[in-house]
Amino acid sequence: MLAIIGGSGLTQLANLDVSHREVVRTPYGEPSGAVTFGQICGHEVAFLARHGYGHTIPPHEVNYRANIWALWKRGAVGIISVASVGSIRADLKPGDVVIPHQIIDYTWGRKSTFHDGPDCTVTHIDFTEPYDRRLRQKLIAAAAAIGIPVSDSSVYAATQGPRLETAAEINRLERDGVDLVGMTGMPEAALARELGVPYAAINVVANYAAGRADSRDGISFEAIESVLHESMGRVREVIEQMVGCNGNGSSNGSGCNG
Average pLDDT for 2-26? 79
Band the pLDDT of 30: cuts 50, 70, 90: very high
- Residue (of 194, 198, 43, 45) closest to 135 by Cα position: 198
Number of other residues whose CB lies within 10 A of the CB of residue 51: 20
In a domain, 157, yes or no: yes
pLDDT value of position 68: 98
Name the β-bridge partners of 26. Answer: 29
For the chain, where are the alpha helices, taking DSSP H only? Answer: 64-73, 133-145, 167-175, 188-194, 221-245
pLDDT value of position 110: 96
3-state SS, residue 167? helix
Q: Could you report the per-residue pLDDT of 135-183, keeping only the tens digit for each? A: 999 999 999 999 999 999 999 999 999 999 999 999 999 999 999 999 9
Number of other residues whose CB lies within 10 A of the CB of residue 119: 8
In a domain, 169, yes or no: yes
The CA angle 118-123-127, to the nearest 5 degrees, is 145
Residue 237: domain span = 2-245
pLDDT value of position 224: 85
pLDDT at 252 over 50: no
Average pLDDT for 204-227? 88
> Are 1 and 40 within 8 A, CB to CB?
no
CATH code, domain carrying 34: 3.40.50.1580
Q: Could you report the per-residue pLDDT of 117-138, keeping only the tens digit for each? A: 888 888 899 999 999 999 999 9
Contacts 24+ apart (CB under 8 A), 190-193: 190/112, 190/113, 190/125, 190/127, 190/130, 191/64, 191/65, 191/68, 191/69, 191/112, 191/113, 191/114, 192/68, 192/72, 192/79, 193/125, 193/126, 193/127, 193/130
At residue 53, what is the residue type? Y
CA distances from 7 to 51, 89, 246 (A): 6, 22, 23
In a domain, 90, yes or no: yes
pLDDT value of position 213: 87
- Residue (of 258, 225, 202) closest to 73 by Cα position: 258
In a domain, 213, yes or no: yes
CA dist 209 and 219 (Å) reads: 8
Higher pLDDT among residues 239 and 120, named by residue: 239
CA dist 165 and 156 (Å) reads: 14
In a domain, 125, yes or no: yes
> Are 67 and 25 within 8 A, CB to CB?
no
- Residue (of 225, 210, 191) closest to 107 by Cα position: 191
pLDDT value of position 13: 64
In a domain, 252, yes or no: no
Percent of the chain at pLDDT > 90 equals 71
CA dist 244 and 2 (Å) reads: 11
* Residue-averaged pLDDT of the chain: 90
pLDDT value of position 107: 98
Percent of the chain at pLDDT > 70 equals 91
In a domain, 10, yes or no: yes
In a domain, 254, yes or no: no
| Number of structural domains the chain divides into | 1
